[in-house]
Amino acid sequence: MERIGVGNVGEIMGKYTYYGHDLSYFSRKLESALVFYGADFDRVQVSLGVPSEEARKRAGTHIIPVLETPEGWALWDTTPIMRMLDARFSAKMFASGELGVLIHIIENFLDEWLGRTMVHYRWNYTESAEFAAPLLAGGDAQIAKDIAAWGSKACRATGVEPPHQQGMAEVEYERILKAIDVQLQQTRYLMGDAPCAVDTVILGGLRAHTMVDPAPSRLVDKYPRIQKWAAIGDGADDWDGSGALNGDTGFARAMLEEMQTAFVPFALANRKALAAREKAFTATIYGEDVSFLTRPYPEVACQMVSDHIAKMGAQDYVKSLGLGALYL
């Protein structure tokens, strides 16, 4: 167990324990959020994606990360976790009003779509798979082989087995990196001069995947400003609690444009397949019909956004973004 320490932002509401892995997208996302909140937390590194048996039982899942609260709750879904923590700390990863809706939408896109790019870079490149699998397996060679085999299945399930999709995922990710780089020349964070949930997702991908896996790290090396910002314990982590969010950053506009291209067709097709109880479906992504495994969670995540939109009465705002078909 590693003591991370107490930040100087927000109120301390007892000790939290977070179970995760350095190479886990959502573990690094949650860790970034805990730092921004200024939470007092211990970090427990786990192998094989399995937290402690006690935490697993209480959370009801083998998925990481798991956050144990001071009350003894064990929670595993990063978006609801951050909503809970927003109510406990002065720092907020989601703003109020339409800005909060926008943050929720962009976070949803990055959570549910950018993950396939992380899967591609890790498991479609032999050098990345050979780097990551032993670390995820805690040094067990057979388990590492099993994890790598799972990675190949994950590539098929998320539509990045076809070579054209692999190439387009990489082009898409470089567009996102360029948007990050431009934004960081204007503001400290991606939605203004204070961090939010959007920053936590981007930092999760950089810290767990594309700054450490051999193949994508060569791409990120072209962006030293991003590397400095994403350095653990420095850059983005060094926040003093000041600054304001802005719903009209260039990065926000770029992400809204990106999600219309591929994520919205995928999410709508996944929804239709779930309703029809189909195990797989085809969606047209970057001019190609691509097969995906039907998965419940992307729809659950979209519904969380829809529920928040309804609560905020922000339906007209979402229609103005051209996202009514997905969220209303």
Which sequence spans correspond to the domains of the chain?
2-86, 97-327
Residue 132 has pLDDT above 50, yes or no: yes
List pLDDT tens digits, range 70-82. Answer: 998 889 899 999 9
pLDDT class of 53 with cuts at 50, 70, 90: low
**What is the DSSP secondary structure assignment for residue 207, as one 8-state letter?**
I
Residue 116 has pLDDT above 70, yes or no: yes
| pLDDT confidence of residue 13 | 62
| pLDDT confidence of residue 54 | 54
Side-chain half-sphere exposure of 49, counting CA atoms within 13 A: 14
- Which CATH number is correct for 2-86, 3.50.30.30, 3.40.30.10, 3.30.70.870, 3.30.300.30? 3.40.30.10
Token output for 231: 């350095």
| pLDDT confidence of residue 324 | 98
pLDDT class of 15 with cuts at 50, 70, 90: very high
Q: What is the mean pLDDT of residues 286-305?
A: 97
What does the mean pLDDT of the chain come to? 92
Q: Which of these ranges, 10-19, 136-145, 165-174, 287-296, has the smallest mean pLDDT? A: 10-19
The C-alpha angle 109, 51, 104, rounded to 5 degrees, equals 20
* Beta strand extents in the chain (DSSP E only): 2-5, 15-20, 40-45, 66-68, 74-75, 280-285, 288-293
φ, ψ for residue 20 (rounded to 5)? -165, -165
Q: What is the mean pLDDT of residues 14-39?
A: 94
Residue 110 has pLDDT above 50, yes or no: yes
| pLDDT confidence of residue 9 | 41
Cβ density class 248-266: b for 16+ within 10 Å, e for less: ebebbebbbebbeebbbbb
Cβ burial of 317 (10 Å; 0-12, 13-18, 19+) is middle
235 vs 56: which has the higher pLDDT: 235
**Which residue shows structure tokens 């969010």?**
245
Q: What is the mean pLDDT of residues 23-30?
A: 95
Residue 5 has pLDDT above 50, yes or no: no
What share of the chain has pLDDT > 90, as a percent?
A: 83
| pLDDT confidence of residue 137 | 86
Q: How far apart are CA 198 and CA 1, in angstroms?
A: 28
Q: Which of these ranges, 8-12, 95-99, 167-171, 177-181, has the smallest mean pLDDT? A: 8-12
Q: What is the mean pLDDT of residues 97-111?
A: 98
Name residues whose C-beta falls within 8 Å of residue 55's C-beta, 6 or more positions apart in sequence.
17, 19, 66, 68, 74
pLDDT class of 63 with cuts at 50, 70, 90: confident
| pLDDT confidence of residue 45 | 87
Sign of the dihedral defined by the CA atoms of residues 36, 42, 48, 50, in that order: negative
